[in-house]
Structure 1
Amino acid sequence: MTQHVKIPQDRIGVLIGEGGETLRRIERSAEVSLDVNSDDGAVAVEKTGDPILGMKAPDIVRAIGRGFKPDAALSLLDDDMRLFETIDIERAARNDNDLRRKKGRLIGENGRTRELIEELTGADVVIYGSTFGMIGGPNEVDVARSAAEMILDGAPHGSVYSFLERKHVEELKHQGMEYHEFSG
């Protein structure tokens, strides 16, 4: 069975990689065959081996198309619980200026908000075009999505950071680890 995925043309080079290296790595790791149309960004994904691995391949291609580095996208194969999800920022925006403002809020000053979401959730996070992309375990993606939605809804950054910190501590406790706040 072949699935079709469309990615932005400016991400085709990343999907293919130098000399086709990334493309071959995806094909080998996910046991699929990829046929990339460089003219329009259409990618045909055909399963050639393990159907479970093959099911992840379209998300690997989509993740690269949404701005993730190939290694992060390929981490979807690490275990069955890793997910790729996006939020369409444009849907939360009233106009182009609002879209730019919301993207800026998600990125934060010098990228700090995006970094904190990543650090405190454990998810990989990318803001590309008008999407906020996440790769991680179900809980990691859930918390990252909640934080992004809070920001898009206009919550103050401090409230979002407190939410992320609280969720991070809860996760550490759930894992049986102690949390010691750093005081420098």
Structure 2
Amino acid sequence: MQHVKIPQDRIGVLIGEGGETMRRIESRAGVRLDIDSENGKVAIEQVGDPVDALKGPDIVEAIGRGFAPEDALTLLDDDMRMFDLVDIGAVARNSKDMKRKKGRLIGENGRTRELMEELTGAMVVIYGSTLGIIGSPKQTKIVREAAERLLDGAPHGSVYSFLERKHNELKREGLDYHRYPGGT
């Protein structure tokens, strides 16, 4: 049994209307979820395929960190898809600095976050004090590095150039698949 704590305002998303999302996660991942809606603690118990069940905690945490359930469930579509989290709060000095750092990651009208997705094929969500990533190990590593560069104060232009270079490398390696496996 594993435990994940999610924010109070994401519990409803995890459960879904009439429990539909929770049941879908349980059946697809081979787990049983016990959700304590008082404190946001979720107990995850393996009841099916152990390989799929290993992704259960990541699916729950991804939903808790702002991903839509459909996006979090893509972790089951490919053994190579993974979930990663960049803790913005760990590098922010105070709440004003946190807001500034989040703004750097989001970019004007959301453009920086969009470019991270477009140029890597990963899914990127900024929620609370975290930046969440779902993608292949290589895609995830690139987004994490771009985010860390921005958090360290690198100019946006240099980070965009880095993302372009990495995008071209992914294309050369045949790894430039898009946001959804087999999708657009």
How far apart, CA to CA, are the structure 1 residues paired with 2:96 and 2:48?
46
When normalised by structure 2's length, the TM-score is 0.94
Aligned to 2:125: 126
Deviation (angstroms), 1:80: 1.3
Aligned to 2:156: 157
How far apart, CA to CA, are the structure 2 residues paired with 1:176 and 1:136?
11
Identity over aligned residues, as a percent? 68
Deviation (angstroms), 1:79: 1.5
Deviation (angstroms), 1:176: 8.7
How far apart, CA to CA, are the structure 1 residues paired with 2:22 and 2:88?
29
Check 1:150–1:176 CA distance in 2 against 1; reply closer, same or farther (3 A cut): closer
Aligned to 1:72: 71
- Output the amino acid matched with 2:155: P
Aligned to 2:12: 13
Q: Give 1:107-118 correspondences, 5 Å limit.
A: 107-118=106-117
How far apart, CA to CA, are the structure 2 residues paired with 1:63 and 1:72?
9
| DSSP 3-state at the match of 1:168 | helix
How far apart, CA to CA, are the structure 2 residues paired with 1:91 and 1:42?
22
What's the CA shift string for 1:141-181, capped at 9, x where partnerless? 0000000001000000000000001100111111198xxxx
Check 1:176–1:60 CA distance in 2 against 1; reply closer, same or farther (3 A cut): closer
How far apart, CA to CA, are the structure 1 residues paired with 2:174 and 2:34?
42
- Output the amino acid matched with 2:16: G
- Output the amino acid matched with 2:121: G
How far apart, CA to CA, are the structure 2 residues paired with 1:81 and 1:171?
15
- Output the amino acid matched with 1:138: P
How far apart, CA to CA, are the structure 2 residues paired with 1:171 and 1:41?
38
How far apart, CA to CA, are the structure 2 residues paired with 1:77 and 1:176?
18
What's the CA shift string for 1:61-109, capped at 9, x where partnerless? 0000000000111011112111101011011111111110000000001
Which runs of 4 or more aligned residues in structure 1 lie more than 6 Å from their structure 2 counterparts after TM superposition? Answer: none
Q: Give 1:1-184 correspondences, 5 Å limit.
A: 2-175=1-174
When normalised by structure 1's length, the TM-score is 0.94
Q: How many residues align?
A: 176
- Which blocks of at least 5 consecutive residues in structure 1 are unaligned? 178-184
What's the CA shift string for 1:88-144, capped at 9, x where partnerless? 101111111111000000000110000000110111000000001100000000000
Aligned to 1:180: none
Deviation (angstroms), 1:5: 0.9
How far apart, CA to CA, are the structure 1 residues paired with 2:120 and 2:147?
12
How far apart, CA to CA, are the structure 1 residues paired with 2:173 and 2:79?
20
Question: Which is higher, the Rg of structure 1 or of structure 2?
Answer: 1
